[in-house]
A and B are shown apart, each in its own frame.
Chain A
Amino acid sequence: MGEALIEALLISAKCLLGIFVIITIIFGVVKLLNLFGKPRQKKEDPDGK
C-alpha cells in the first residue's frame, strides 16, 4: 500500500506540474500572438477617400 501511495503521489505531482508547464507555454505563445497579431490602425487617407 505504501509503495502504491507513493507512486500515486508522484504521478499526481508530475501531472500537475506538467499541466502548469504546458499551460504556461501556451499562455506565453498566445500572449505573443496577441502582441504581434494586433490589427494595424488603418492610415487616414489624405484625400479622404
Chain B
Amino acid sequence: MDFLSFLWEYIAQVTWQQAVMWVIGGLLIFLAIKKEMEPALLLPMGFGAILVNLPESGVLGENGIIQWLFDVGIEAAEVFPLLLFIGIGAMIDFGPLLSNPKLFFFGAAAQLGIFLTLILATLCGFELKDAAATAIIGAADGPTAILVANKLQSNYLGAILVAAYSYMALVPIIQPITIKLCTTKKERAIKMTYKPGSVTKLTKILFPILVTVIAGLIAPASLALVGFLMFGNLLRECGVLNSLSETAGKVLSNLITLLLGITIAFQMQGEQFLQWQTLLIMALGLFAFVFDTVGGVFFAKLINLFSKEKINPMVGAAGISAFPMSARVVQKLGLEADPSNHLLMHAVGANVSGQIASVIAGGLLLRFVEATLGTIGI
C-alpha cells in the first residue's frame, strides 16, 4: 500500500484555512453566476481563491503564473489597474457633466465616506497605511483601490478588494436604503429640468488634457490614475482614433479584467486572508459606501439652502464612482417618488464626476499618507 501513498500525500497537507478559502471561492463564484454580482471580477477571484489554496500550488512560488502576474501586473507598477483606466476613460462620455459643471461638486462631496472611514479605521486600531487602504474602498472604484492599497503595501489587499467589488455590486441595495433614510418623499420627488448645453468638440478634447495638468500640478501622486483615465477619454473624444478608442473600451478592458480577478486572488491565500481584520474591513467598507452616499445627499441639501433652483438631493448620492449603477438607482428612486420625475441625465453627470473625484481622492490620500509615513516629503 505504501506505493499508493502519493495519492494522499498532498491531501494530508490541506489546512483548515485552505478549506475555508475553497468555500469562500465557491461563494464568490455562486454570487457571480447566480446573483450576477460583478461577475467579471468575482468569478475569476473566486476561482483564483481555490487555485492558490491548494497545497503546494503550482501557480505560486518563483515560477508560479499567478505570482508572476501579481509581481508584474500589480506589484511592479500597478500595470493592470492603470491599463484598465485607459479602457474606462474610453468608455466615459463626460458630455452631461460638461454641460452642467455644477455636478462636479457632487463627485467631491460623495468621497466623504473615504475620510470618515480613515478616521474610524484608525480608531479600530489599524496602522495608518492599512486604515488608508481600507478607507479607499469608499472610492467605489476597483482600480483605484488596488493601486492605493498596493502602493501603501497594505497587509489586507485581498480583503480590501473583495470588499470593494462586493459593495460595488451591492450599490442597488445599499444606496436606496441609505437615500431613503436621509430624504423625505417630497425631496425625492423634486424635479430638475434638463437643459443640455451644447458642448463643443474642442471643449471635449481640451477637458482631459487640462484635468490631467491641473491634477498633476496639485496632486502629482494622482497623476498615474487621472492621466490614464484622461488619456483613454482623449482617445474617445479626439475623433481620429476611433479604432484605438474602441479597442481600449472593449478589448483592452476585457483582457485586463480577465487577468485582474485571477491575479488578485494571489492575495487570498488562507493564512493571510482569514484574520478577524478581514471581517472588520468588510464592515468598514460598508460604512464607507453608506457615508459616501450620505455626504452626497447632504451636500445637495446644503446647496438647496442657498439656491433658487432646487436640486434633488438624490443626485448628490450619484456622486460616487460606481458607474452606472448609482445613476440608475437615483433614476429608479426618482420615478418611484413621482412617475414623471426623470433624473437620469443629472445623475449620470454626477456619477462621472465621481469617477474623476475618486481618482483625485486616491492620489491625495496616497500623497498625504506617504508624507506622514515619511516615504516622501510634502
What residue in chain B is nearest A4 (Cβ atoms)?
A: B122
* Contact count band on A: 20 to 34
Q: Does A46 contact B (CB under 8 A)?
A: no
A23 touches B119 (CB 8 A): no
- Kindly supply a per-residue 1/0 record for chain A positions 28-43, scoring 1 wherever the CB is within 8 Å of any chain B CB and 0 otherwise: 0111011001110000
Q: Chain A contact residues: over half helix, strand or loop, or mixed? A: helix
Contact partner of B368 (CB less than 8 A), chosen from A1, A11, A23, is A11
Known A11-B132, A11-B368: A19·B218 in contact at CB below 8 Å: no
Chain A residue contacts of B206, Cβ below 8 A:
33
A13 to B74, CA, bound (A): 29
A22 touches B369 (CB 8 A): no
Contact partner of B200 (CB less than 8 A), chosen from A18, A19, A26, A39, is A39
B360 touches A23 (CB 8 A): yes
Known A34-B199, A39-B198, A39-B200: A22·B101 in contact at CB below 8 Å: no
Query: Could you name 13 residue pairs across A and B whose Cβ atoms are closer than 8 Å?
Result: A8-B122, A9-B119, A14-B364, A15-B114, A22-B215, A23-B357, A26-B211, A31-B101, A33-B203, A33-B207, A33-B210, A34-B197, A37-B202
Interface residues, chain B, CB within 8 Å of chain A? 98-99, 101-102, 104-105, 107-108, 111-112, 114-116, 118-119, 121-123, 125, 128, 131-132, 197-200, 202-203, 206-207, 210-211, 214-215, 218-219, 353, 356-357, 360-361, 364-365, 368-369, 372
